[in-house]
């Protein structure tokens, strides 16, 4: 029987995309607060538009930071330093409306339901309740070295390369905003070719499309996409509207948390709906999603599945997950329920345990706010480690024997 052939598409955006700019500001504020007070509670949202930055949400912290200064420095670092871009870091208005975390939420995070009800509990690890209800998903696949689907891995690399070419001056007419999209053709579970590449790159007004297309094919697409995945049928679209001068927050307002599929698995896996950026690690939207990725990646690294999706669900104020679900899509060496049993035995998925094991009360988040939170070989992120793989491998052997 021939294997099914299908197309799958994922997108990424550059750090100058307005939504990603907002994410980076929110996470820069989180990092600054954690640097002074590791127990800061943060839910910081950022909105950006022409000449204006709005910071709003909830912060409870002993830290003292200049929120407006952090926002300006982050915007400048991305490259919005000229009024002709519609947002100038030093001259934009920055409005701050950050209040304290709700006491109703805080009481459930500070003392989990298990302790409030007087149930038998495990001290500190049962003391932190989830900061919200909800479900998170983790995913991993062995089709790339990053344990990511090929489409999102390539889209991120294109977006990063676009920014590098701008910042280095290699393509001097580029501006900060940009988007990439890659369509991969699969045969069964194997990526066999790239069908379509789309790049939209903001540029200076005097540059014509012919030059932009030639430069991006030679200096962005060429260095990123392997020749083995390109063929005569691969379609390449560069700035398909014909012009992309007005961009960034001037062309489209930006808001924290609007690129959750870019942040995760490019649509290849399900998503619980919660954003990551601007949230401290008591928020399971973030820490739970990182833990789910950690679990999934270790399962694949252990050779227990070629690809796997893990769902973890929480109730607000309750430490222990209400459910764990595993799907290996028929690629597992054990049944899904047996994989779930291994997870329950070898991973502690209570918020306090996740925070402790992955060391999440540190200022490590700003760099995750562009180019994805997973598969980041350029960063030493604890949820990307495969230190549990050998333990899982041995445990799986015992399950198989028994």
Active site amino acids: 17, 19-20, 45, 58, 179, 244, 252-253, 258-259, 279, 283, 285
CA distance 112 to 119: 10
Instruction: Match 């041995």 to its residue by tokens.
Output: 394
Quick check: 19 and 254 in contact, CB under 8 A?
yes
**At 388, phi and psi to the nearest 5?**
-100, -5
The Cβ-side half-sphere exposure at 380, using a 13 Å CA radius, reads 3
The candidate with the shortest Cα–Cα distance to 72, out of 37, 28, 36, is 28
The residue whose two tokens read 């939207």 is 285
H/E element, 191: strand 190-203
Residue 242: Cβ-neighbour burial (10 angstroms; 0-12, 13-18, 19+): exposed
Tokens at 87, concatenated: 């947002």
Q: How far apart are alpha carbons 357 and 329 in whole angstroms?
A: 28
Which string of DSSP letters, residue by residue, matches 219-276? IIIHHHS-GGG--TT-EEEESTTS---S-HHHHS-EETTS-HHHHTTTTSS---S---
DSSP collapsed to 3 states, 321-353: CCEEEEECCCCCCCCHHHHHHHHHHHCCCCHHH
N- to C-terminal Cα separation, the chain: 34
Q: CB under 8 Å to 307, separation ≥6 — which residues?
A: 139, 140, 141, 142, 143, 189, 300, 328, 329, 331
Do residues 12 and 371 touch, judged by C-beta distance below 8 A? yes
């Amino acid at each position: 029987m021939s294997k099914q052939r299908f197309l799958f598409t994922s997108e990424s955006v550059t750090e100058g995309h307005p939504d990603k700019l907002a994410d980076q500001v929110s996470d820069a504020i989180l990092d600054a607060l954690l640097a002074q007070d590791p127990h800061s509670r943060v839910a910081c949202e950022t909105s950006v538009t022409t000449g204006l930055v709005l910071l709003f949400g909830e912060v409870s912290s002993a830290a003292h930071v200049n929120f407006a200064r952090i926002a300006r420095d982050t915007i400048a670092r991305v490259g919005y330093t000229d009024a002709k871009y519609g947002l100038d870091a030093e001259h934009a208005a920055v409005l701050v409306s950050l209040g304290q975390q709700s006491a109703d939420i805080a009481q459930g995070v500070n003392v989990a339901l298990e302790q409030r009800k007087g149930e038998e509990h495990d001290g500190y690890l049962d003391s932190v309740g989830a900061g919200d209800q909800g479900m998170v998903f983790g995913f991993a696949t062995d089709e790339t070295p990053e344990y990511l689907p090929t489409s999102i891995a390539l889209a991120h690399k294109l977006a990063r390369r676009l920014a590098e070419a701008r910042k280095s001056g290699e393509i001097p007419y580029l501006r900060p905003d940009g988007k990439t999209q890659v369509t991969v053709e699969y045969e069964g579970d194997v990526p066999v070719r790239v069908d379509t590449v789309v790049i939209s790159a903001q540029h200076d007004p005097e540059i014509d499309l012919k030059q932009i297309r030639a430069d991006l094919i030679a200096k962005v697409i060429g260095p990123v996409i392997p020749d083995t995945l390109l063929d005569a049928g691969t379609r390449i679209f560069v700035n398909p509207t014909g012009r992309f001068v007005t961009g960034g927050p001037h062309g489209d307002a930006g808001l924290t948390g609007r690129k959750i599929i870019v942040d995760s698995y490019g649509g290849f896996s399900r998503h619980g709906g919660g954003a990551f950026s601007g949230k401290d690690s008591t928020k399971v939207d973030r820490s739970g999603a990182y833990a789910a990725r950690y679990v999934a990646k270790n399962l694949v690294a252990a050779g227990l599945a070629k690809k796997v999706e893990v769902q973890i669900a929480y109730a607000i104020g309750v430490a222990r997950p209400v459910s764990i679900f595993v799907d290996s899509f028929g690629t597992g060496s054990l049944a899904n329920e047996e994989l779930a049993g291994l997870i329950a035995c070898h991973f502690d998925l209570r918020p306090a345990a996740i925070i402790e094991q992955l060391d999440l009360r540190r200022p490590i988040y700003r760099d995750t706010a562009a180019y994805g939170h997973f598969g980041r070989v350029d960063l030493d992120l604890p949820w990307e480690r495969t230190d549990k793989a050998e333990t899982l491998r041995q445990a799986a052997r015992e399950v198989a024997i028994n």
